[in-house]
Amino acid sequence: MPRFNLLYSVHKTRIAPVSQQPKVKGIADIVFLLDATGSMGPCIKAVKQNITKFVTTMTTPNPNGGAVVKEWRAKVMGYRDLDYTDCPPYVDNPFVSSVAELETQLNGLHADGGGDEPETLLEALYKLAAMPSTGPDEPLNRDSWRPMGQARRFVVVFTDAPFKEPLREPRGASIDDVILNLMTAKIVLHIFAPKKFDRYNTLAEVDKAQWYAISSQEGQTPQEALADYTSDPSKFGKIIEQLAKTITVQSEVPLVLD
């Protein structure tokens, strides 16, 4: 068996036949995967300031009808650079289902370290794709995804840097391995990253993924561009609101299992 296809086999053993799977709608597991290196402080702060708006937009019924997220869990995960040893490469948290707990997780994420510009995003995505699923007859586990088919899975990335290739963990794995495992785990990506780093277009090939390519003004660095993108409370609030609406609609689509 090829080394990097192992995850695919593990997930396949967890999936019951399609006829036995309920078509659950309006339930979401969401990971906010944030670059936590030194330049990301303003972005992390902006996400925290808008997290209530994000949840409220998802869960408030529209007077005219339409999609709504009936049940949600979310967590914050920070990543840095595995080659930079002065700070932990990951800051992980359990899934929670209240805004207050989510804000606490964001408060605990500090922008620090990072080393050279490229960061180890692909390793973080690989870890999330490998995160176990709670068994269909087991109590819900805050350190695991909900059972496959019982919730939509989302990862929302914010970063101002490119990613390193190939992976350090598992050593030698490629972006294609990451994409395969994300698709096998049925994870939908939403990526906020500078337009300058066109390799994000490859990650956007994951089914239903979206890359929000952030343009730089003349003379701006990508880091300055993201800070500017998140600095206007009104504009960024609308961006977060639209993200919540998109995830709400995607949560309404029944998951088709292989």
Q: Where are the domains of the chain?
A: 25-250
Q: Which of 159, 164, 188 is CA-nearest to residue 248?
A: 188
Give tens-digit pLDDT for 75-105. Answer: 999 999 998 888 999 999 999 999 999 999 9
To 5 degrees, how large is the angle CA 4–CA 169–CA 205? 60
Give tens-digit pLDDT for 199-237. Answer: 999 999 999 999 999 999 999 999 999 999 999 999 999
Give the model's confidence band at 8: pLDDT under 50 very low, under 70 low, under 90 confident, else very high.
very low
Q: Which of 183, 148, 178 is CA-nearest to residue 165?
A: 178
- Superfamily (CATH H level) for 25-250: von Willebrand factor, type A domain (3.40.50.410)
